[in-house]
Amino acid sequence: MSLFKVRDWWSTTAGGEEEFDQGCMCIANIDNDQHVSDKIITGSFAGILRIYSPKPEWREGGTSGAMPDDLLIEQQLGSHIIQVLAGKFVSVNEKSHLAVLQSRKVSVYEIIVTEGAVEHGNQYQLKLIYEHSLQRTAFCMCRGPFGGVSGKDFLCVQSMDGAVSMFEQETFVFSRFLPGFLLPGPICYVSRTDSFVLATSSWQLESYTYQNLAIATDAPKEESQKISSGKRVSATWSFNLGQAAIEMHVITFPSTPPSILVLGERNIFCLSDVGKLRFMHKLNYNPSCMVPYRTSSEGKVNYLVASHTKTLMVYEDTKLRWASQMNTVPVVIRTASFHRLRGGIVALDERGQLQICYLGTDPSLFVAPATESRDINYEQQDVEMRSLQKVIRASTKSTDFMVTTGEDDLELAAYVSDDLDSVSQAQNIDSQDGEPIPSISVKISIKCKSPIQSVLLSIHVLPPLAVTKSLFKFSAVVETTMIVGFYLSQPGVPADLNAKAVATYNTTSGAPRVVVQDITLPLQLVMKPVPPSRTAMYKITLDTNKAPANLNSIFPDLSGENSDGSGQAIGLQVYGNNQEKPVVTLLASRNAQRYRIQCDSWECMWLPIRDLMERLRAYYKQMHSKPPIQIWFSGNMPLQEYFAVVEDHFQVRLVRERHKQLLSERAAQFRAIQRRLLARFKDTTPAPLSNLDTLLEGTYHQILALSEACEETEKQLELTALNVASATKLLCTLIKLAHKMSDKEAGILEACLSSNVHDEQGWEESTDAVLTHMLRTCLSKSYKDLSQLAIPQLTIPTDTSKFRKHVTLLCDRLAKGGHLRIGTEDSETVVTASEGEVTDDGSSLEVPAGSKFGERKAGKKLAGEQEFGVSPEQLPPVVNKGKALTSLSPLPEGGTTLSNGTNGTGAETELTVDAE
């Protein structure tokens, strides 16, 4: 990241598909030109040597760039070139020669210039002076006046397996193994101390004097490259870098103290030439290469570092002086002086992109990509805005979220087959006595006008009923049918024989749509005919205005062979249970116009009664009898029986609460013991566990036992909840029949006495709250009620006495002529009723729409507020806005990516990924 980018002075591509690495470029006045202008020498892994002499012209707005005649020599040298190096490698003169290192060979060349005719320029030729073949694979080489000779350069070649071989020009001197060698690293010659400095694979910098290396032989035998062992040489000094070195340079500029600059993988070190740290600098990027350069500033080390984030940094000691962007990641950079550019930066990347550049204040201004802009038609937009605002206002005003839909593209239909399946499809049943559970097939068909993508069909049914497959996915559908089976999967009597098929899809315009189809299952799915029993605990008698019909003709599917021929009695029993399951007996009176339902279990009677009523109405409607049949209930309201069922449920709830409390206590105890144990184990001085482990195990077992008990209770709770639901429906129906309520009133009653027995929110207290509200409002007799009937807290009560009292009171009031009336004259009732319908559990009645707080507190607070009776007009002016609003949090996220700077290594890179 930087503000500037380097300016291009000259650039070319050295080779096409060739590879270059660290040693593959050097800068020298290799043709010994009188104008001391540097040449660039490159050698690729493909074995091609090139020499460039860039001489671009300055022009308006830049330079002329690379010309074909800038390339002096291009020659294939056989095998791969690992390193090129310039130096005084020939004994007869002090001219610059070129040393080329290949895997098994090091050769020295001279560049011969032949003055050509004026127009053709000079001719350059490569002339081999001498070469040494190498016994070991070479890694790199360095040059220097080893042994302190003057005016000459010798070569030292480091091999891949840790031997250094010395060549004093045409003669081979000796080879030595370096101790503790594994992987090679950069090597340098320090002339002041006449020693070699190299970075080893134990991540240290070690220095060996030339003399030490030379005399470290066992016997005065002939020196050869074919050594396999040698005396251990010892380092004169070593410095622990703690990381691998990438590049190393010896600084011998007159203005700076002699030092060794090491580019590590994560730091830059500068050491004096006797191995003392002068400074180090931690990098927050991955460096690729560096080079020191000469300046006039006294005592400071100046160097350039290139990073893998394509940035070139100029440092003076540890201070970053300049940073600018590059186009590539260079593998080697150098500084060089050319005819028209002194101190140019030469960079070579691994693909052979060769560039000479200079630092300029050319800003690399980041230009953000243009956002999607369009011409705005203001009039149109105003119209659109107005219409949208209308929609918003409408939607915020009314609590109804009904969206008027057009015709559905998708039609859903369900056909319940007439008979039970011959082979039951029931799965996973915990039936106790092996009695087969029947199932019934339902054919669900989907029909679309046009193909619709990704339709999801789900089938909901409340337990204990179950469906064989509840979810269907269609990637595209036009018309399809599937057959599913419904069956009783758990013991218990269902409160409802309805199921729902729901299809969800997106229309072609992208709007989500839901289509619902109700499925009504027949009674015979859950009940089977048995011989009627004459005696029973509970009896309900229903009066009609017609002579009793033949039950056999009303229940043709359930009469079975057990019924008596007269059709006056039918026995029914729920499937899937042991024989003690009570028998529901339907009796038609012989002479009076009444029917009797009797059973030993209260909750089992609901389904037969419902079915009986429905079938009777259908039967007489079919017969076209006038007047239409009327059914009523004239007996006493069987509240005690109902309360017994509720009490059962409530007791189970209490047990569950107790279990939960115990469980949380045990869990807390478990954590406490764990903590103590942890403290014990963490302690540096071991202490006895003092039976904490036994305690831990004991608690663990307790927790297991408790959670099993909890599960058991949950099951029981489900069962009793079903019973309560059945019983509630029965009660509602009886109340409705007894008081000849209209459907509207009955609807309100059913909303109040909800048969939706929830687990999360206690049914007793929520229903109680609704009842209280009803009693306070539309069933209230006097204002005394308001004070006497406090809105109950929505917490689990200690017993059901209040609930019973309120139900009794409700029945009394209704019996005395009370009406559950919804009218505009009473605003409070309106609110209650509408909300009672919207949310089918009573507890969230008073929570404002849109709030997250479907919790008890909110309800209470608002109730309290009602009592204060503050009218909106008295409201206070707003809190001091500037202080009350906290929204000034513009910056917390400032840095998920901000913080990761230029580097590619740090932890923060990880962060970015994480955040994205």
Partner 1 sequence: MDPMFLAYSYFRRRRFEDCATACGKLLEKNPYDQAAWALKMRALTEQVYVDEVENDEEGIAEMLMDDNVIASVSRPGTSLNTPATAQGPTSQAVRPVSQSGRPLSGVVRPGTQSGRPGTMEQALRTPRTAHTARPVTSASGRFVRLGTASMLSNPDGPFINLARLNFSKYASQQNVAKALFEYIFHHENDVKNALELAAMATQASQFKDWWWKVQLGKCYYRLGLFRDAEKQFRSALQQQETVDTISYLCKVYIRLDQPITTIDVFKRGLETFPGDTHLNTGIARIYEGLGDLNNAVKYYKEVLQNDNTNVEAIACLGTNHFYTDQPEIALRYYRRLLQMGVYNAELYNNLGLCCFYAQQYDMTLTCFERALSMASDELMADIWVNIAHVALGIGDTSLAYQVLKLALASNNDHAEAYNNLGVLEMNWSHIDQAKSCFLSAMQNGPHLFEPHYNFATLSEKIGDLQSSYKGVKKSLDIFPEHIDSKKLLEKLQEHFSML
Taking the least distance from each CB to partner 1, the nearer of 22 and 651 is: 22
CA distance 551 to 572: 13
Look up residue 691 and give its two tokens.
């039976």
Q: Considering only the stretches 199-207, 464-472, 738-746, 821-829, report the one whose residues sit in contact with partner 1 under the rule CB under 8 A.
A: 199-207
With CB under 8 A as the contact rule, the residue among 172, 858, 860, 863 that binds partner 1 is: 858
Q: Which is nearer to partner 1, 280 or 663 (CB)?
A: 280
Considering the complex, what minimum distance in angstroms separates the CB of residue 237 from partner 1? 14
Contact present, 767 and 803 (Cβ < 8 Å): yes
Residues 893-912 that bind partner 1 (CB under 8 A): 893-902, 905-911
Is residue 916 a contact point for partner 1 (CB under 8 A)?
yes
Helices and strands in the chain, H and E counts: 14, 43
Q: Which is nearer to partner 1, 123 or 674 (CB)?
A: 674
**CB of residue 407 vs partner 1: minimum separation in angstroms?**
30
The reply to whether 394 sits near partner 1 by the rule CB under 8 A is: no
Q: Is 214 exposed, middle or buried (0-12, 13-18, 19+ CB in 10 A)?
A: middle
Is residue 475 within 8 A of residue 436, CB to CB? The reply is no
Choosing from 117, 391, 471, 885, the residue that interacts with partner 1 (CB under 8 A) is 885
277 binds partner 1 (CB under 8 A): yes
Smallest distance from partner 1 to CB 733, Å: 37
Among 120, 282, 374, 624, binds partner 1 (CB under 8 A): 282
Q: Of residues 49, 72, 111, 246, which one binds partner 1 by CB under 8 A?
A: 246
Question: Partners of 443 in the beta sheet?
Answer: 415, 483
User: Contacts with partner 1 in 177-196 (CB under 8 A)?
Assistant: 180-184
List the one residue from 579, 591, 636, 889 that touches partner 1 (CB under 8 A). 889
CB 159 within 8 A of CB 150: no
Answer for which of 93, 137, 520, 788 binds partner 1 (CB under 8 A) is 137
Stretch that binds partner 1, among 25-33, 564-572, 734-742, 858-866 (CB under 8 A): 858-866
**Residue choice 135, 252, 267, 295 for contact with partner 1 (CB under 8 A):** 267
Distance CA 14, CA 750 (A): 88
**3-state class of 477 per DSSP?**
strand
State the nearest-atom distance from the C-beta of 876 to partner 1, in Å: 4
Is residue 202 classed as helix, strand or coil in its secondary structure?
coil
Check binding of 862 to partner 1 (CB under 8 A): yes
- The residues, ordered by sequence, that sit 6+ positions from 245 with a Cβ below 8 Å of its Cβ are 185, 186, 199, 205, 262, 263, 264, 265
d(CA 445, CA 294) in angstroms, rounded, equals 86
Q: Is 160 in the site for partner 1 (CB under 8 A)?
A: yes
Task: Give the nearest distance from C-beta 128 to partner 1 in angstroms.
Answer: 22
In this complex, which beta carbon is closest to partner 1, that of residue 353 or of residue 559? 353
8-state DSSP, 605: G
- Binding to partner 1 by residue 320, rule CB under 8 A? yes
Complex with partner 1: residue 406 or 512, whichever CB lies closer: 512
Going 249 to 250 to 256 to 259, the CA torsion angle's sign is: positive
Q: How far is CA 430 from CA 373, 437, 497, 576, 648, in A?
A: 65, 10, 20, 9, 23
What is the smallest separation between the CB atom of 180 and partner 1, expressed in angstroms? Answer: 5
Instruction: Please say whether the dihedral angle defined by the alpha carbons of residues 426, 431, 436 and 438, taken in this order, is positive or negative.
Output: negative
**Can the peptide bond before residue 464 be classed as cis, meaning omega within 30 degrees of 0?**
yes
Number of residues located near partner 1, criterion CB under 8 A: 110
Which residues within the stretch 25-44 sit at the binding site for partner 1 (CB under 8 A)?
none
Interaction of residue 772 with partner 1, rule CB under 8 A:
no
Give, as ranges, the residues between 330 and 359 that touch partner 1 (CB under 8 A): 331, 350
Binding mask 609-648 for partner 1 (x = CB under 8 A): ----------------------------------------
Tokens found for residue 500? 């729902």
Buried b (16+ CB within 10 A) or exposed e, 251-269: beeeebebbbbbbbebbbb
Interface residue with partner 1 among 215, 516, 644, 678 (CB under 8 A) is 678
Query: Closest CB to partner 1 among 403 and 879?
Result: 879
**Residue 308 interacting with partner 1 (CB under 8 A):** yes
User: In the numeric block, which tokens belong to residue 622?
Assistant: 């079919």
Q: 884: which residues sit within 8 A by CB, 6+ positions away?
A: 878
DSSP codes joined into one string, 312-344: EEEEETTEEEEEEE-SS-EEEEEEE--SS-TTE
Binding residue for partner 1 (CB under 8 A) from 103, 337, 424, 593?
A: 103
Per CB under 8 A, 231 contacts partner 1: no
